Amino acid sequence: MATPAAPAVARLDAVLRRLGAKRVVWLLCLLPLLGWVMRGSTGWAGGLGVNPAETLLRGTGDWTLNLLLAGLALTPLRRLFSLNGPVRWRRTVGLWAFAYALLHGLAYAWLDMGLDPAAIVKDLGKRPFALVGFVAFVLLLPLALTSTDRAMRALGGRRWQRLHRLVYLIAPLGLLHLAWMRASKGRLAEIAPEVLALLLLLGLRLWRRPAPRSLD
């Protein structure tokens, strides 16, 4: 039986299915990067602060995790509210998460380590949180490389889905990377919202809505 809110949900879903909605999502994902470019090049809003390297490292890392969590939230939106449109944004959000992860890795390798491979290897062995972040990035790489329709067809739908379930490991690893780093600076409480969001999203992944009872 349709609920009184069903027509409104259907109209909202129709709007979210439009190509323009995906373009808006793409632009929203781009905004943090544009902000850093503007601040760095013009000094707007205080520029990149007294420590630009830390600003970029922290910002790119935070946005990687934010977008991973946003991607995990799209399927629960469909299951809980019958909104199918946002699921179409999953590839866009996932690729932007990878883009920020790549920028995070480049900022670390260049601004922190001076693009010195020996220093990077030594640092990964010395700082476990950096190694955890590196592992999360390595696991994210095949998801980005297989994000095309052609890759999906080549792998087959079932194998492609199994591969992309790695995100349920990558997101906790990314959060562990962040938590470990913030804990070393006595700022672990800062990530409470991300911890709660991940626990909720993983719980929704395990939860199944009960089938409606028959009236017969």
Sorted by where each begins, the domain ranges of the chain are: 6-206
- Tell me which long-range contacts 206-210 makes (C-beta under 8 A, separation of at least 24): 209/79, 209/80
Pair of tokens at residue 24: 């808006």
Going residue by residue through the chain (216 aa), what tens digit of pLDDT does each one get?
445 567 888 888 888 888 789 999 999 999 999 999 999 998 887 889 999 999 999 999 999 999 999 999 998 888 888 888 889 999 999 999 999 999 999 999 999 999 999 999 999 999 999 999 999 999 999 999 999 999 999 999 999 999 999 999 999 999 999 999 999 888 889 999 999 999 999 998 887 555 445 444
Please list the alpha-helical segments (H only) found in 43-186: 52-81, 90-107, 117-126, 128-145, 149-155, 157-164, 167-184
Whether pTM > 0.85 for this model: the answer is yes
Residue 216 CA to its chain's centroid (Å): 45
